[in-house]
Amino acid sequence: MPTLDHYLSRFEYRCADCASGVRLHFIGSEECSPDQVSVTVSVDFGSSHLSCADGDSNVKTLPVGLAHFMEHYLFWLHFQEHLIPLEHTYIATPNAVVTYDRSLWGIRNATVAREISFNPEFDEARTVAGVCDLVRSFLTVLTEDHQVSPSLIERTVGDISNEIGERHSNLNYRLELKLRESLYSVSPIRHDILGGRESLKEIQVGHVELAMRLIRANVRSVVVLAHTVTDALISEVVLTVEGLLPDAPAAPRPLAPPAEPAKVHKITSGLPSPYDFERAYVLLGAKLLPLQHAFSGADEFRRAYVLSHLLMHHAKRRCGGLLSPHARAYFVSGVEEDGLFFWEHEQVVKVIRELKKNLLERIKGFRDGLAREVSYGLASMIDRPHRLMRACHAADLYKLKLTEFMGTFPELSMKDINRLIDELNETRDNLSLVYTELAF
């Protein structure tokens, strides 16, 4: 197996922290075109944040789906003035995405040269100017003060309602949503990241004003990917960020969700589906303790987090699941040829047992080829530098640098995986099965 230094030598990574608490990650990779850069900005405001504390220690409740709503709202609010000009200038499309824990804004493969060339060369001045312009534009979108528009709220609600209709036409999407609802009875993880049509109707001007303040106070990191990282690039980005975010507002801050009961909400749940009568599509979820509850030591915590991340995102045979500071679960899917299996308790038990066995065998296979899997996971990130950007945000979620995050991969041992297997073996009251049943 190649050494960690072999992988780390294939790119340059540098990190800087601003006075406001914003962390800056810089990645230089020869895999990137010399005339292109990619930039993302993260905010600690995601779909699982349904309450926040204001400056007077008052707790404010937020509607389900507000973080995703704000993604669309801010996009349309700044579309003409800031976002369309970026697309025209850099020949790339700005985008945003919301996760359970964060909102990410960015642009991929933005061309910073004055003209497209088949043989581009790295130009430090253009790269620095382009990156700073992109960072400035995204931070302006996220922090600029604007009066809330009721008509734009209405337009955004309609926009997201259409997206909900499109996403819910996907059976796998609805199965996973149903599984989260079954596994979690308290945690906001049980809700659709998009929100729901009813919760969208709850969003008022005051919610949007509060969300804008929440976003301004919780910009967390900036990740820059370029062909080459230079001192000038780092210093100018630091000056840009500190010029727009001179200090970190004390409030409002998103609050952690309430503690989740150990037992699942429902052992089995049917999902009406018009797709098939002959067979049933099934999805099993195993809910484990959140990492900070299961692992008290910092080193154990870090290794368990990186192991789960590797299994879910970079293994050759990836395991489905969710990984968040306040939730952890593994998923495994299958097809049951008896479309009415759920009518008999014995058949339900058999399906659950077989799916759990399948999940354990997949993780045991990972354990048996651990060195190969670690090497594959590291290579999969190095060969696709945009995955390094996502890894920065994954590491950043737990206050790790990218090199600390990747450096944990080769440290993983049989002991780490065996502990995960033991956790899964001990699952009894935290397994939930969802299945399709014919919709009449």
Summarize the confidence of residues 164-171 as an average pLDDT. Answer: 94
**Domain assignment present for 408:** yes
| Listed residues 200, 219, 254: the one ending a domain | 254
pLDDT in the model for residue 117: 63
- Claim to verify: residue 354 and residue 239 sit in the same structural domain: no
Q: Which residue has the tokens 């349309």?
A: 76
pLDDT in tens, 66-106: 999 999 999 999 999 999 999 999 999 999 999 999 999 99
Which pLDDT band holds residue 159 (cuts at 50, 70, 90)? very high
Biggest CA–CA distance in the chain, Å, is 69
Q: Please check whether residue 191 is in contact with residue 47, taking contact to mean a CB–CB distance below 8 angstroms.
A: yes
Q: What's the mean per-residue pLDDT of the chain?
A: 92
**Domain assignment present for 390:** yes
**Domain assignment present for 327:** yes
**Domain assignment present for 278:** yes
pLDDT in the model for residue 307: 95
- Claim to verify: residue 216 and residue 328 sit in the same structural domain: no
Which pLDDT band holds residue 229 (cuts at 50, 70, 90)? very high
| Listed residues 254, 282, 301: the one ending a domain | 254
**Domain assignment present for 197:** yes
- Claim to verify: residue 177 and residue 229 sit in the same structural domain: yes
- Claim to verify: residue 334 and residue 298 sit in the same structural domain: yes
pLDDT in the model for residue 154: 97
Task: Provide the percentage of residues in the chain whose pLDDT is more than 90.
Answer: 79
pLDDT in the model for residue 262: 81
Summarize the confidence of residues 202-219 as an average pLDDT. Answer: 96
Burial pattern 305-324, b for ≥16 Cβ within 10 A else e, equals: bbbbbbbbbbbeeebbbbbb
pLDDT in tens, 293-326: 888 888 898 999 999 999 999 988 889 999 988 8
Using alpha carbons, select from 282, 254, 250, 278 the residue that is nearest to residue 356: 282
- Claim to verify: residue 205 and residue 285 sit in the same structural domain: no
- Claim to verify: residue 381 and residue 428 sit in the same structural domain: yes
Q: Please check whether residue 86 is in contact with residue 112, taking contact to mean a CB–CB distance below 8 angstroms.
A: no
| Listed residues 220, 254, 288: the one ending a domain | 254
pLDDT in the model for residue 265: 85
Record the pTM.
0.94
- Claim to verify: residue 229 and residue 371 sit in the same structural domain: no
**Total domains, the chain:** 2
Which pLDDT band holds residue 116 (cuts at 50, 70, 90)? low
pLDDT in the model for residue 245: 94
Q: How many CA within 13 A on the CB side of residue 405?
A: 26
- Claim to verify: residue 237 and residue 281 sit in the same structural domain: no
pLDDT in the model for residue 8: 84
pLDDT in tens, 173-204: 999 999 999 999 999 999 999 999 999 999 99
- Claim to verify: residue 200 and residue 282 sit in the same structural domain: no
- Claim to verify: residue 247 and residue 98 sit in the same structural domain: yes
Helix, strand or coil, per DSSP, at residue 439? coil
Tell me what percent of the chain is helix, strand and coil, each rounded to the nearest 5. 50, 20, 35
Full residue range of the structural domain in which residue 141 is found: 8-254
Which pLDDT band holds residue 1 (cuts at 50, 70, 90)? low
- Claim to verify: residue 185 and residue 311 sit in the same structural domain: no
Residues 70, 45: Cα–Cα separation, whole Å: 10
Using alpha carbons, select from 160, 161, 192, 156 the residue that is nearest to residue 175: 192
Phi/psi of residue 204, nearest 5 degrees = -115, 175
Res 439 pLDDT > 80: no
pLDDT in the model for residue 440: 59
88: CATH: 3.30.830.10
H/E element holding 331? strand 327-336
pLDDT in tens, 390-399: 999 999 888 8
Six-digit token string for 298: 């910092």
**Domain assignment present for 263:** no
pLDDT in the model for residue 115: 66
**Domain assignment present for 431:** yes
pLDDT in tens, 21-47: 999 999 999 999 999 999 999 999 999
- Claim to verify: residue 41 and residue 134 sit in the same structural domain: yes
